[in-house]
Structure 1
Amino acid sequence: MTLTAYIKKRNGVSVGSPMSLRNNLYRSLGARNFSTFWNYWNPIFGYYLGHYLFKPLKRIFPVPVALVLTFTGCGLIHDGVTMLFRGGVSLFFTIWFLVMGLAVLGTRYLNHNFAKQKWGLRALVNISIISACFLITVYINLYIPV
């Protein structure tokens, strides 16, 4: 699948559409579960992570391990960019994305599904999971030497 087709599938509109950001936020935040949130969030970055990281990793590792490694790799990319601008070493995003990858696995294991709930509740649940992962990451960075 091409990047253009992937974005249209995820956002429901073509690349560059004025509705792209709105659709991205609406679909991702209102996703039926935390795993599906990531199918919609940032489709351009998701396309490349899936194509160049997740697919090769799942040939070597079981899917859950490949998924967590992909999230961790995504965090490393984010940290790499911030380190270029800050000039110092930080693994904040790496830890945060690792925790979010584990949250995806946990919510899959629990069959977390809010498809029948209103959009607002689904958005609140997804934002709450991201926030909880963020707070866990802050705690790790404050109290556990990494």
Structure 2
Amino acid sequence: MRLSQYILKRNGVPLGHRSSLRNNLHRSLSAGTNTEFWRHWNPIWGYYLWKGVYVPAQRWVSKSISLLISFAVSGALHDLAIGLATGNWQVFFSIWFLFMGFFLLLSRKWDVTYSQFPFLIRMGINLVSLSGCFLAAGLLNRNIFT
């Protein structure tokens, strides 16, 4: 699948369309599961992680481990970008993204769904899941790496 096809599938509009960001935010934040949230969040980045990390990693490890590797690589690349831009090298994003990967796997295992709730509740649940992982990563980072 090409990037343009992937974006159309995830956003419902072509790459570069003026509604692309709005569709991306609405589809991800209104998701009724954590899996659906990540399916729609940042589709360009997701495409390259899927194609360059997730699929190749499955040659050697399970889908679950491939997913965690993808989240870890994404976090590490965010850490690298921050380090290059600021000179402040850290691993916060790697930790945060691993927490989000574990949260995704657990929500799948326990079949957590909240699609029955109205949009604002679903949006709140999705934002709280991101924030909870962020806070947990911050606590771990502060207590181990500082």
Partners of 1:96 and 1:29 lie apart in 2 by 19
SS of the counterpart of 1:61?
coil
**Corresponding residue pairs, total:** 146
What is residue 15 of structure 1 aligned with on the other side? 15
Instruction: Give RMSD over aligned pairs.
Output: 1.0
Q: TM-score, normalised by structure 1?
A: 0.97
What is residue 106 of structure 1 aligned with on the other side? 106
Partners of 1:39 and 1:92 lie apart in 2 by 23
Aligned residue identity for 2:132: A
Q: Does 1:90 align with 2:108?
A: no
What is residue 52 of structure 2 aligned with on the other side? 52
Equivalence map 1:113-124=2 (5 Å): 113-124=113-124
Q: Unpaired segments of 5 or more residues in structure 1?
A: none
What is residue 38 of structure 1 aligned with on the other side? 38
With 72-81 and 110-119 compared, the bigger mean Cα shift is at 110-119
Q: TM-score, normalised by structure 2?
A: 0.97
The share of aligned pairs that are identical, in percent, is: 39
How far is the alpha carbon of 1:74 from its aligned partner?
0.4
Partners of 2:78 and 2:106 lie apart in 1 by 23
What is residue 26 of structure 1 aligned with on the other side? 26
Q: Extract structure 1 runs of 4+ deviating beyond 3 A.
A: none
Partners of 2:123 and 2:105 lie apart in 1 by 19
How far is the alpha carbon of 1:108 from its aligned partner?
0.6
Aligned residue identity for 2:107: T
What is residue 67 of structure 1 aligned with on the other side? 67
Partners of 2:62 and 2:49 lie apart in 1 by 17
How far is the alpha carbon of 1:88 from its aligned partner?
2.6
How far is the alpha carbon of 1:6 from its aligned partner?
0.4
